[in-house]
Amino acid sequence: MLITTIARVDEDDVDRLRSWLADLHGRRDELAESYRSQGTRTEQFFLIRTRGLPLLVFVSEVDDVEEATRSFLQSNLPIDVDFKSLVQEISPEEADVELLYDSRLHLEGS
């Protein structure tokens, strides 16, 4: 299942976010362990520039949304602890997002 999270990020925090994400290449083993424990298949982060604050769009594909969320929130893996701390420190502001269309709602049970 795909999960999409959209948040506003202060311009001052963009470089720090970029740096943290770039450092993931050197933390492959930790990242793989985190993905295994959460049932994550893939993740992508996008930065969208708007007239206001930049938007961070985070897309992940997971086996089970509730389990992935629970596992991440309870995780003591250093990479997960670091990411939770980063998110708290840069305090991304949740954007008001309206889902306009989800194909699953129209195709399931067909």
For the chain, the structural domain boundaries read 2-95
pLDDT above 90 coverage of the chain, percent: 65
pLDDT at residue 79, as a whole number: 97
Please write the tens of the pLDDT for every residue from 49-103.
988 889 999 999 999 999 999 999 999 999 999 999 998 888 767 778 888 998 8
- Interacting residues of 15 by C-beta distance below 8 A, sequence separation 6+: none
**Nearest residue to 56 via CA among 110, 22, 109, 93:** 93
pLDDT at 102: 85
Predicted pLDDT of residue 109: 61
Q: At what angle do helices 28-38 and 78-90 cross, to 10 degrees?
A: 90
pLDDT at residue 107 in the model: 79
Torsion of CA 57, 61, 36, 43, to 10 degrees: -30
Q: Which two tokens stand for residue 108?
A: 């399931």
Q: What is the pLDDT of residue 110?
A: 54
- Options 3.30.70.100, 3.40.50.300, 3.40.50.1820, 3.40.190.150; CATH for 2-95 is 3.30.70.100
Residue 11 reports pLDDT greater than 60: yes
pTM of the predicted structure, to 2 decimals: 0.82
Longest CA span, the chain: 48
pLDDT of 95 reads: 77
